[in-house]
A and B are shown apart, each in its own frame.
Chain A
Amino acid sequence: MITVKNISKQFSETPALDEVSFSVNTGEIAGFLGPNGAGKTTTMRIMTGFLEADAGEVLYEDKALHSDFVNIIKQVGYLPENNPLYGEMRVDEFLLFAAKLKGNVRIDSLQKIVKATGLTERLNENIANLSKGYRQRVGLAKALIGDVRYLILDEPTTGLDPIQKEEIISLIKKIAKNKTILFSSHILSEVSDIADKVVIINKGKIAASGTGKDLMSKHLKHAIVKVKTNAPLKEMKIQLQKNKNISELESNNNGKGFNLISVSCVDPELASREIFRTVVKNKWELTELYTEKQSMESLFKEITK
């Protein structure tokens, strides 16, 4: 279990983190979300000892990171943002260097990591000559070396093309067994895809933490029903907003013809029936009517707005 306890950090005059606390249980994959500059990287840098917190502490199980840094960090694999690597080193040299420092790394476990990360064919290449996708694999392989129980991955898919992203995500899923993982991402679908838990940080403070389902039911009080109709938005608003279930109507296109209208409501089923009745009553036409699936995007927008 990783526990981040009341971490605060200030850079010059600007507070970067303000009493940030959250935990990731053993074996859990936690997605760390937040807009740019929210404090994700600073938190992760403190969790891996690269930065020192002004206040608070990071605990791995019950041990504070600063109390026995060298021994605790042996169990932590870290992939920093932008994945800096020693470009002049060969892949095998770099991985062996990390393995020697982690200590007691068996050659067969190293070979397993190389195989799992798909680096077997690239071991003799200079890191500087690798593509971004392969560099990311090298970073991940380095993070996995040793008796790693905790993985901290700072935007592991940034800068990768869609195929590389998919590969890295499936790689994380593959290596996730028996590990406690915290990974940050801008791509919310990635988080909802693999995370057991979501931690959302905004302006240096934890805005929400829990399973995606719990957070959605807690923070997303409104459902969205989408309707594609030729009804004039103004007229439809007048007729539908009499209904207490419906709170708001929005359309990106307010022109003539068919518009896709978003209807914000408490009960989507009730709202759909009401919309249908109104459309029929007014002899408008309707081509689509559906309830939008609540996504991590809407949750993220709601929490960080």
Chain B
Amino acid sequence: MKNYQANARNILILMLKELKDAFTSPVAYIVISFFTIVVGIAFAKDIFVTSQADMRSVFNTASLVLVIVVPAITMRSFAEERQSGTYEILSTLPLSSLQILLAKFFANLFLCLVIILATLPIPIILNVIGQPNNGLIVAGYLGLFILSASYVALGQFISINSTSQVAAFLLTVTLIAILYVIGMDAFLQLLPQGMRSFFNALSLKSHFDGIAKGVIDTRDILYYFSILLLMFYFTFKSILRIKKKGL
């Protein structure tokens, strides 16, 4: 119990430091502004062009914008430390490799949560002007949260294997974009019938669509859980590789 508390305490200390770093640099404010502006435009377009207001296009746009926003957050987590040499400080303080990995993950995820919740005025407006299905809205937000957790896990894996933040950003965007696009109808229609279900099952987007529709399918949850576990495993292995080979 004492050990568990000490572990949680160390994770929290590093997590708070990471969050403080993020909010003292302009990156956090830029990504929050960028995200809310783009998602806000999508919502406004719905109201003014189609005279309809619902959250579907908001969630779709948000899931797409996160493809760029999350890598801008995760690129710093390990790549910057490796680039500047501060990773040596971190790994020689009383922190285990797993604690470092989890603290950085939770800090990035918390930042994603702040970004996602910055769009809360939209459902509030919807509730003021009409009677939306709030269950669907909650499911949509849950879906965005789980989706961004997967993006963060993927981003951290790329970041630990890079010494350049720019390279980490570009590689993460590419990887997430591929996993997103392979679930889009426009792409799936180009494929033979037999391959469609395979790519659909692999895609980050198709599993998100299900949750955003309010359908909590165990297959979708299992998919995101597997991505998280797999990426944690590979990131942890990469940390151990740095211990073996140096920065």
Residues of chain B within 8 A of A98, CB atoms compared: 93
Interface size in chain A (residues, C-beta < 8 A): 30
Size band of the interface chain B makes with A: 20 to 34
Q: List 17 A-B contacts (CB under 8 A).
A: A49-B91, A50-B88, A50-B92, A51-B244, A52-B240, A69-B96, A71-B94, A73-B92, A76-B92, A85-B89, A93-B20, A100-B13, A101-B93, A101-B95, A102-B94, A103-B6, A142-B89
Residues of chain A within 8 A of B246, CB atoms compared: 11, 45, 51
With A80-B89, A86-B89, A88-B25 known as contacts, the answer to whether A52 contacts B94 (CB < 8 A) is no
* CA–CA, A274 and B49, complex, Å: 108
B84 within 8 A of partner (CB): yes
Is A50 within 8 A of B91, CB to CB?
A: yes
Q: Mark A93-127, 1 if CB is under 8 A from B, else 0.
A: 10001101111000000000000000000000000
**Nearest-CB residue, chain B, relative to A54:** B244
Q: Mark A45-88, 1 if CB is under 8 A from B, else 0.
A: 10011111000000000000000011101101010101011111
Taking the nearest CB of chain B, how far is it from the CB of A286, in angstroms? 55
With A84-B85, A97-B17 known as contacts, the answer to whether A52 contacts B95 (CB < 8 A) is no
A interface residues with partner B (beta carbon < 8 Å): 11, 45, 48-52, 69-71, 73-74, 76, 78, 80, 82, 84-89, 93, 97-98, 100-103, 142
**Nearest-CB residue, chain B, relative to A74:** B94
**Nearest-CB residue, chain A, relative to B12:** A100
B243 within 8 A of partner (CB): yes
Taking the nearest CB of chain B, how far is it from the CB of A64, in angstroms? 15
Taking the nearest CB of chain A, how far is it from the CB of B76, in angstroms? 11
Is A11 within 8 A of B88, CB to CB?
A: no
With A50-B243, A71-B94, A73-B93 known as contacts, the answer to whether A84 contacts B13 (CB < 8 A) is no
Residues of chain B within 8 A of A49, CB atoms compared: 91-92, 243
Which one of A73, A78, A84 lies within 8 Å of B84 (CB-CB)? A84
Is B13 within 8 A of A97, CB to CB?
A: yes
Taking the nearest CB of chain B, how far is it from the CB of A31, in angstroms? 21
Taking the nearest CB of chain A, how far is it from the CB of B165, in angstroms? 14
Which one of B25, B93, B95, B243 lies within 8 Å of A51 (CB-CB)? B243
- Chain B positions 18-52 with a Cβ under 8 Å from a chain A Cβ: 20-21, 24-25
* CA–CA, A70 and B14, complex, Å: 14
* CA–CA, A101 and B21, complex, Å: 17
With A84-B85, A86-B86, A88-B24 known as contacts, the answer to whether A103 contacts B94 (CB < 8 A) is yes
**Nearest-CB residue, chain A, relative to B247:** A50
